[in-house]
Structure 1
Amino acid sequence: MPDSLDTRDISELSLEELVACHECDLLMRKPKLIDGERAECPRCGYELLTHRHQVVRRSLALALAALLLYVPANFLPIMQLNLLGQRADDTVWSGVLALYNSGMQGIAVLVFLCSMGVPLLKLLCQLFVLLSIRWDIGRSYGLLIYRIYHHLREWGMLEVYLMGILVAMVKLKDLADLSIGVGLACFIGLLLVQVWLEVTMSPHQIWEALSGEDADASH
């Protein structure tokens, strides 16, 4: 557990040696962690740092898996609807087009950004950052891209879109013959892999690796 500091201790340390709690703002000396260890705030118990083993390799594998799931999740049928002899295959992309063609262009753009555009951009940002660490190239650009990624995090709302899909399926099941498509499984898989990637991609290790302070992160 890291130690809290007084004003005199703070003045003697560089910024790289300090860490502040995101919950209670307690300023502490940054602890040295080994694989599997984590540090908690002594005041409120918030998790400050976690040192994960082979964070870049594991994160790269998850980022590539998410990118592979992205296309089928968005372009394969999520559900198949049979109503009065007519069959319709609904995908995420077809939902965006339906909104646009029905005159709700603003909502269509918003749905596209939150369900397709921003999640893809986030994955590409993560992939670029991880590759810049892994191959030790363009780390200055990696720092910029990682900052952009953190600004994009709040705009990717796959879980909200999934809830909307489930609600629509519940309401439609009594009105028509409804069957689940493979796209829904891919969409759920994409959401789970992205959550796993968020957990695995330890922020402090990525920042340190991009700045050259953590040589072990790229192994």
Structure 2
Amino acid sequence: MPDPVDTLKVSDLPLEDLVACHECDLLMRKPVLALGEKAQCPRCGYELYAHRHSVVERSLALVLAALLLYIPANFLPIMQLNLLGQSSEDTVWSGVVGLFDTGMQGVAAVVFLCSMGIPLLKLLCQLAVLLSIRWRIGRSYGLLLYRIYHHLKDWGMLEVYLMGVLVAIVKLADMASITIGLGLICFVSLLMVQVLLEVVMSPHQIWQALSGEDDHAGD
């Protein structure tokens, strides 16, 4: 665990040697971690950062998997609804188009951005950042894209859309015959891959690699 810093001595230490807990704001000396180790706040136990193995390679694999899942998750049928002899197949994209065609253009735009546009932009930003580290080129652009990615994190709401789909399935289950489509399986898989990517892609190591402090983020 890192050592708390006496407030009277803070001015004597360079900023790069300090770290603050995001939960309780305790100021500490930044510890040097070996591979596989993680730093925790001695006061509240919050994980400050970790030094994980093969961050870039593992993150690249997950980003590519997410991009491969993106198209089927959004354009394959999420469910097939049979009601009073009428059958329809719904996808994420058809939901956006349906909202637009019924005069709710604003809602359609929000759904498109939060369920399709921003998640794709986040993945592309992550891909560009990881490639800039892996190939050691364009790190200044990588820094910019990683900042953009962090601003976009709160706007990609795949889990909210998934909850909406699940609520619709539960409510319609007694009224119609519902068949789960391959699109829903891909959509859930995409969400799980993105959650795992958030865990694997250690922000501390990515920032260090982009700033040139750590050229071994892929080790």
Query: Is the TM-score greater than 0.5?
Result: yes
How far residue 12 of structure 1 moved from its aligned partner, in angstroms, is 2.4
**Equivalent residue letter for 1:159:** E
Alignment of 1:37-186 (within 5 A): 37-186=37-186
Q: Which residue of 2 aligns with 1:28?
A: 28
Over the residues paired in the alignment, what is the CA RMSD in angstroms?
A: 0.9
Question: Which secondary structure state, in structure 2, belongs to the residue aligned with residue 212 of structure 1?
Answer: coil
How far residue 218 of structure 1 moved from its aligned partner, in angstroms, is 3.1
2:53–2:218 CA contact under 8 A, matched in 1: no
**Equivalent residue letter for 1:40:** Q
Question: Which secondary structure state, in structure 1, belongs to the residue aligned with residue 87 of structure 2?
Answer: strand
Deviation string, structure 1 residues 133-155 (Cα, Å, up to 9, x no partner): 00000000100110110010000
CA distance in 1, matches of 2:197, 2:148: 17
How far residue 124 of structure 1 moved from its aligned partner, in angstroms, is 0.5
1:99–1:108 CA contact under 8 A, matched in 2: yes
CA distance in 2, matches of 1:141, 1:218: 19
Deviation string, structure 1 residues 63-110 (Cα, Å, up to 9, x no partner): 000000000000000001112222211000000111111111111111
Q: Which residue of 2 aligns with 1:211?
A: 211
How far residue 176 of structure 1 moved from its aligned partner, in angstroms, is 1.5
CA distance in 2, matches of 1:217, 1:109: 38
CA distance in 1, matches of 2:218, 2:144: 18
Alignment coverage as a number of residue pairs: 219
Deviation string, structure 1 residues 108-134 (Cα, Å, up to 9, x no partner): 111111100110011001001000000
CA distance in 2, matches of 1:201, 1:12: 32
**Equivalent residue letter for 2:148:** I
Runs of 4+, deviation exceeding 6 Å: none
Alignment of 1:182-201 (within 5 A): 182-201=182-201
* TM-score, length of structure 2 as denominator length: 0.97
**Equivalent residue letter for 1:194:** Q
List alignment gaps of at least 5 residues for structure 2. none
CA distance in 2, matches of 1:42, 1:82: 57
CA distance in 2, matches of 1:48, 1:176: 49
Deviation string, structure 1 residues 9-55 (Cα, Å, up to 9, x no partner): 32222211111110111111110111111111111111111111000
CA distance in 1, matches of 2:107, 2:43: 44
CA distance in 2, matches of 1:167, 1:112: 19
CA distance in 1, matches of 2:62, 2:9: 41
List alignment gaps of at least 5 residues for structure 1. none
CA distance in 2, matches of 1:87, 1:61: 38
Question: Which secondary structure state, in structure 1, belongs to the residue aligned with residue 153 of structure 2?
Answer: helix
Question: Which secondary structure state, in structure 1, belongs to the residue aligned with residue 19 of structure 2?
Answer: strand
* TM-score, length of structure 1 as denominator length: 0.97
How far residue 194 of structure 1 moved from its aligned partner, in angstroms, is 0.2
CA distance in 2, matches of 1:217, 1:161: 34
Percent of aligned positions that are identical: 75
